[in-house]
A and B are shown apart, each in its own frame.
Chain A
Amino acid sequence: MIRLENVSKRYGNGHYGVIDVNLEIHRGEFIFLVGPSGAGKSSLIRMLYREELPTSGEIYLDEFRLSQLRRTQVSRLRRQLGVVFQDVKLLTNRTVFQNVAFAMEVVGAKGHDIQKRVPQVLELVGLARRRNNLPHQLSGGEQQRVGIARALVNNPVYVIADEPTGNLDPETAFDIIKLLNEINRRGATIVMATHAKEIVNQMHKRVVAVENGRVVRDEARGAYGYEP
């Protein structure tokens, strides 16, 4: 479970990214974080994978208390997480297979485990045939699938996605959401920040709306609720 207790984030310029947020996310949930640009969604997301720390309050993720983690524990925390970005962050000089395998190599996975696991994940995201292509040979949607495959390859408990469909056309965006939904069905918890109104409205998942750094709405089967 992820639990946020009175979490606030104040930046150096005095601006508040997040103000007094309380939130519980249970295992197996699929949550959309919605809100206008600059509302604080990305600040929240970054605090979840401990790229940033709250100025006050505390975030708990399973047994981890995020502000108290020693450096060596941060890597342990992140092995529980899969993070997906809008700009994917693929390594341009490596093939699809190598990009996904990279995530396993750097946590010290064994060679034969990598050879076994990577094709499985590529199959899941529908890129088995593209394994030897370089990122620039892929469409935007395919690149995002590689990003998701990379986030999944180490079997994370939580998948945290920061506007993963932001750069994609509506149809491709829907494919990506279907994929995330499938991953959710297989047991992973999904937390996704998004602007995609159509998608949120059709999925009928839990929606947490953030405005000016505060949670203003938390509905179990919610709608987007804004004009994007």
Chain B
Amino acid sequence: MNLNSVWYIAKETGRNLVYNIWMTLASVSTVAISMFVLSFFLVLTVNMTHLTTVLQSQVEMRVFINANVPRHSEMTLLKQADQWPGVRKIQFFTKQQAADSLKKEFPDQRDLLTLISKSNPLFDGFNVYTKNPNEIPALAVRFQHEKAVHNVVYEGQVVSRLSRLSVIMKWVGWAVELLLGLATLFIIVNTIRLAVFARRREVAVMKLVGATDWFIRWPFVLEGLVLGIVGAGVADLVVSQGYHWLIMAATGALPFWPMAPYAQVMAKTWDFTLIGGLVVGGVASIVALRRFLKV
């Protein structure tokens, strides 16, 4: 294909888009809405994954050892447990260290402080971090079965629920996206069908004077791709501005809430929406051409 043909095809694509401006706008908006919803779910899942990771990095499980267990037995258990599947990290603390950290956490609780200073009722123990928060309950049971263990405390249920929720969100997101994708596909197919219909005379003449099939098809394919990519661009613009605003607002109102960083979220949404836009636009034009353009 030479430069004249490329120029001609670009010109024809532009002409189609402008002549059918209302269909163009309808298609761009549906792509944009569909991609916006995709981005919304992406932002949500990226943030939930981020939150889960942050919570995971905090202490997940505390295992307390019976008071009469000698130090060497504690160390043996520590070494064994470190090898258990699912354990990411395990740290030993003495009851003295436990008391110190308690003092730090609650400096105003005088009664408590007096109590633990007189005779420390706390236990030695382990801080256990897991690879996957879902493994916490099973590990807790395993520790409970050890004779030396007094009891196990964990807050992992929040994390485990969160990670389950983010998996569900991901699937719901994909399902909604699939439906919206089909709707978008349908509208772009229709736009291109109209373009083919509006240009049936041109197409007939092109065929008669010996234009190749792909020369006839390209302007329509390009039109679908442009509709897809512009729609995705619009959605990205809205989402990036919106998320920027959300981060600013969250820093003010919920300073303890860990928001996923802007760049991380945007990189993901740009990738997905632009590829999504191109795929939807491209597939739609191919479907439309197969059905409506007999070359």
- B186-244 contacts to A, CB under 8 A, are 201-202, 204-213, 215-216
Task: Assess whether A91 is in contact with B211, with CB atoms less than 8 Å apart.
Answer: no
Chain B proximity of A67: nearest CB distance (Å): 18
CB pair A106 B209 closer than 8 Å: yes
The interface stretch among A71-79, A137-145, A166-174, A197-205 is A71-79
B8 touches A105 (CB 8 A): yes
Q: How far is the CA of A83 from the CA of B77 in the complex (A)?
A: 93
Q: Is B80 on the interface with A (CB-CB < 8 A)? A: no
Q: Is the pair A49, B208 in contact by a Cβ cutoff of 8 Å?
A: yes
- Cβ of B213: which chain A residues have Cβ within 8 Å of it? 71-72, 75
Q: Considering the chains assembled together, what is the distance between the CA atoms of A71 and B4 in angstroms?
A: 23
The answer to whether B209 and A110 touch across the interface, beta carbons within 8 angstroms, is no
Measured CB to CB, the closest approach of chain B to A24, in angstroms, equals 24
Is A111's beta carbon under 8 Å from chain B?
Answer: yes
A154 within 8 Å of B (CB atoms):
yes
Instruction: Decide: A77 and B210 in contact? CB cutoff 8 A.
Output: yes
Query: Chain B: which residue is nearest A104 at the CB level?
Result: B209
Cα distance A50–B38 in the bound complex, in angstroms: 48
* Cβ distance B120 to chain A, nearest Cβ, rounded Å: 89
Contact of B210 among A79, A92, A150 (CB under 8 A): A79
Distance, CA A223 to CA B8, complexed state (A)? 46
Q: Is there a chain B Cβ closer than 8 Å to A103's Cβ?
A: yes
Give Cα A109 to B205, complex, Å: 16
Distance, CA A109 to CA B212, complexed state (A) = 13
Chain B residues with Cβ under 8 A from A185's Cβ? none
Contact for A78 among B4, B202, B209, CB less than 8 A: B209
Contact B205 A102 (CB under 8 A): yes
Query: What's the tally of chain B residues with a CB closer than 8 Å to chain A?
Result: 19
B5 at the interface (CB under 8 A from A): yes
Partner of A83, one of B5, B208, B211: B208
Query: Scoring A residues 142 to 179 as 1 if CB is less than 8 Å from chain B, else 0, what string do you get?
Result: 00000000100010000000000000000000000000
Q: Is the CB of B215 within 8 A of A89?
A: no
The residues of B that contact A107 with a CB separation of less than 8 Å are 209-211
Residues of B within 8 A of A81 (CB): 210
Residue ID in chain A nearest B295 by CB atoms: A71
B29 → chain A closest CB, angstroms: 27
Complex Cα gap A102–B12 (Å): 11
Determine whether A108 belongs to the interface, using a CB cutoff of 8 Å to chain B. yes
Query: In this assembly, does B1 line the interface, its C-beta being within 8 Å of a C-beta of chain A?
Result: yes
Bound CA span A149–B210, Å: 16
Is the contact region of chain B dominated by helix, strand, or loop, or is it mixed?
helix
Q: Please tell me if the beta carbons of B202 and A102 are within 8 angstroms of each other in the complex.
A: yes
Which B residues touch A91, using CB under 8 A? 201-202, 205
Most buried by B among A72, A83, A107: A107
CB distance from B281 to the nearest CB of A (A): 24
Contact A111 B212 (CB under 8 A): no
Contact B215 A106 (CB under 8 A): yes
- Which B residues lie within 8 Å of A105 (CB)? 4, 8
Contact A108 B201 (CB under 8 A): no
Q: Known: A77-B210, A79-B209, A150-B209. Contact between A108 and B1, CB under 8 A?
A: yes
Whether A154 contacts B209 by the Cβ 8 Å rule is yes
Q: Are B207 and A78 in contact (CB under 8 A)?
A: yes
Given A75-B212, A75-B213, A89-B201: A106 in contact with B206 (beta carbons within 8 A): yes
Task: Say whether B208 contacts A78, CB under 8 Å.
Answer: yes
Of B202, B207, B212, B216, the residue contacting A72 (CB under 8 A) is: B212
Cα(A75)–Cα(B215), bound, Å: 11
Determine the chain A residues whose CB is within 8 A of the CB of B212 once the complex forms: 72, 75
Separation in Å of the A42 CB from the closest CB of chain B? 15
CA distance A150 to B205 in the complex (A): 10
Interface flag for B68 (CB, 8 Å): no
Min CB–CB distance A92 → chain B (angstroms): 8
Say how far B2's CB is from chain A's closest CB, in angstroms.
6
Separation in Å of the A97 CB from the closest CB of chain B?
15
Asked if B202 and A154 make an inter-chain contact with CB atoms under 8 angstroms apart, the answer reads: no
- B199 nearest CB neighbor, chain A only: A91
Closest to B203 in A: A106
A103 in contact with B209 given A108-B4, A111-B4 (CB within 8 Å): yes
Q: Which of B4, B5, B201, B210 contacts A75 (CB 8 A)?
A: B210
Chain B residues lying within 8 Å of A109, measured Cβ to Cβ, are: 4
Contacts of B211 in A (CB 8 A): 75, 106-107
Pairs A–B under 8 Å by Cβ, sample size 5: A49-B208, A75-B211, A75-B212, A91-B205, A106-B209
Known: A91-B201, A103-B205; 8 extra A-B contacts, CB below 8 A, are A72-B213, A75-B212, A102-B205, A106-B206, A106-B215, A107-B210, A108-B215, A111-B4
Give 9 closest A-B pairs by Cβ, nearest first.
A78-B210, A79-B210, A106-B211, A103-B209, A108-B5, A75-B210, A106-B206, A75-B212, A83-B208
